């Protein structure tokens, strides 16, 4: 299209723009995803103190969203984003398409892959001894995600020879057919939808086997099922891919990138939600009275009590893994799986003066749930690993 053709376009059509809608909506969800990952990282580093690989992969995912999504969208604005493609000059379409290429490679492929790996590693913490297949399935899903992400990258890198012809049609070279390109994109989107459904559904039998009230199990299933929101975004993205036409109005509609970036950011928000519970509980002061008996590290045990009396008691401390039970008038009964690392010992009754402490030597195996392991003082000249049980009761 020449500059003369561009200037001949109806002025009203040339003035029409969706840039505010595109930039506004995507930026809001980019910022929300970034904030929630920052809060998740703060919670894991300073409250729970169990920052691990899932958190690192989640950070990689949101960084892909930030720099590959937010930054590139803002950079596309002066090159025709939100305007009808027949009103954009060919010279502007070159950097626009180049930035679209980066969006496809970094957030829509790499960012989504990092997100799914983070979710899978996080779900491994819910493994039950009765379901030996659980971790195997999750590792297979991780391998599947890596495989189809690599396939998607190669399909983009090899689409045109030389690769620069993807964003600059004037360069001498060749590209394989658009229909084949669209098929590769649809396959990648279908795989993403499949893994979203798998990660949202797989934990349900694990939660259902936990010994807890029906109301609590339904709550946990609901939280884990937030991943279906990303499934809906993936379906909308697939519809946009089916209608894709390189000679269409891509700068104006911007459907594939729009729904793809929403899929990524909503997936990040949904995946981080359950991790923020300790932070939200502190902000709302949901645990006002917490007698805690623990090993101080300098010999002996300490007793900590805070807030006003609400009937919340913690027996035990922070060590390995244990289930915490809360039973309140407002919240019902709730269980959660804790990861803890500070050496403590348990008390028989936290409501009264500390009684005798009971310890049991263990082999340090992490497979036993509902308990924790701590290293106490030397016993008979040898240090021992003990297992204690932590129970929190709210009434």
Q: CATH no. for residue 95?
A: 1.20.1070.10
**Both 314 and 269 in a single domain?**
no
Q: What is the pLDDT of residues 153-210, one digit of tens each?
A: 999 999 999 999 999 999 999 999 888 989 999 999 999 999 999 998 888 888 777 7
The answer to the question of residue 266 being in a domain is yes
Q: What is the pLDDT of residue 8?
A: 66
Q: What is the pLDDT of residue 287?
A: 42
**Both 170 and 141 in a single domain?**
yes
The answer to the question of residue 8 being in a domain is no
**Both 224 and 363 in a single domain?**
no
144 against 394, higher pLDDT: 144
Name the nearest CA neighbour of 239 among 252, 226, 258: 258
The answer to the question of residue 187 being in a domain is yes
Final residue in a domain of this structure, among 253, 281, 309: 281
- Non-local CB neighbours of 208 within 8 Å, separated by 6+ positions: 217, 221
The answer to the question of residue 2 being in a domain is no
H-helix segments, the chain? 3-7, 11-15, 19-42, 53-65, 71-76, 90-105, 112-123, 133-157, 178-201, 203-209, 214-224, 228-242, 250-253, 255-272, 277-284
**Both 22 and 83 in a single domain?**
yes
**Both 171 and 315 in a single domain?**
no
Structural domain count, the chain: 2
Mean pLDDT value across residues 211-219: 73
The answer to the question of residue 1 being in a domain is no
Which structural domain range is residue 348 located in?
Answer: 286-394
The answer to the question of residue 273 being in a domain is yes
**Both 121 and 244 in a single domain?**
yes
**Both 144 and 239 in a single domain?**
yes
Percent of the chain residues topping a pLDDT of 70: 67
The answer to the question of residue 6 being in a domain is no
| CA triple 92-95-98, angle to 5 deg | 140
**Both 208 and 347 in a single domain?**
no
Backbone angles phi, psi at 380, to 5 degrees: 65, 35
**Both 164 and 295 in a single domain?**
no
Quick one: pLDDT band at residue 130, thresholds 50, 70, 90?
Answer: low
Residue 48 has pLDDT above 60, yes or no: yes
Chain centre distance of CA 194: 16
Final residue in a domain of this structure, among 249, 281, 313: 281
Question: What integer best gives the mean pLDDT of the chain?
Answer: 75
Final residue in a domain of this structure, among 262, 281, 300: 281
The answer to the question of residue 9 being in a domain is no
**Both 180 and 317 in a single domain?**
no
Mean pLDDT value across residues 302-323: 38
**Both 264 and 341 in a single domain?**
no
Q: Evaluate whether 319 touches 342 at the Cβ level (below 8 Å).
A: yes
């Amino acid at each position: 299209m020449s500059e003369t053709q561009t200037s001949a376009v109806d002025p009203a059509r040339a003035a029409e723009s969706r840039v505010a809608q595109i930039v506004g909506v995507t930026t809001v969800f980019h910022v929300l995803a970034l904030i929630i990952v920052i809060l998740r990282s703060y919670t894991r580093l300073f409250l729970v103190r169990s920052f691990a690989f899932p958190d690192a992969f989640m950070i990689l995912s949101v960084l892909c969203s930030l720099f590959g999504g937010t930054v590139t969208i803002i950079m596309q604005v002066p090159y025709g984003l939100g305007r009808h493609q027949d009103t954009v000059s060919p010279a502007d379409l070159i950097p626009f398409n180049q930035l679209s290429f980066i969006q496809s490679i970094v957030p829509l492929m790499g960012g989504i892959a990092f997100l799914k790996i983070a979710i899978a590693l996080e779900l491994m913490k819910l493994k039950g001894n009765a379901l030996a297949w659980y971790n195997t399935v999750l590792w297979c899903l991780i391998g599947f995600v890596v495989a189809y992400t690599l396939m998607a990258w190669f399909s983009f890198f090899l689409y045109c020879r030389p690769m620069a012809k993807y964003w600059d049609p004037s360069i001498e070279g060749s590209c394989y057919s658009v229909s084949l390109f669209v098929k590769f994109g649809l396959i990648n989107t279908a795989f993403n939808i499949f893994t979203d459904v798998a990660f949202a559904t797989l934990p349900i039998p694990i939660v259902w086997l936990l010994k807890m009230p029906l109301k609590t199990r339904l709550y946990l299933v609901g939280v884990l099922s937030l991943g279906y929101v990303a499934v809906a975004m993936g379906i909308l993205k697939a519809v946009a891919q089916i209608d894709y036409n390189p000679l269409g109005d891509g700068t104006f509609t911007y459907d594939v990138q729009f729904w793809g970036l929403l899929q990524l950011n909503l997936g990040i928000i949904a995946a981080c939600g359950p991790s923020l519970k300790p932070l939200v509980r502190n902000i709302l002061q949901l645990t006002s009275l917490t007698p805690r008996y623990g090993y101080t590290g300098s010999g002996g045990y300490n007793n900590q009590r805070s807030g006003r009396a609400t009937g919340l008691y913690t027996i035990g401390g922070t060590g390995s893994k244990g289930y915490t039970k809360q039973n309140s008038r407002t919240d019902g009964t709730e269980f959660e799986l804790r990861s803890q690392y500070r050496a403590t010992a348990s008390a028989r009754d936290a409501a009264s003066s500390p009684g005798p402490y009971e310890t049991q030597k263990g082999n340090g195996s992490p497979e036993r749930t509902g308990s924790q392991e701590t290293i106490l003082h030397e016993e008979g000249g040898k240090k021992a690993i003990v297992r204690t049980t932590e129970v929190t009761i709210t009434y």
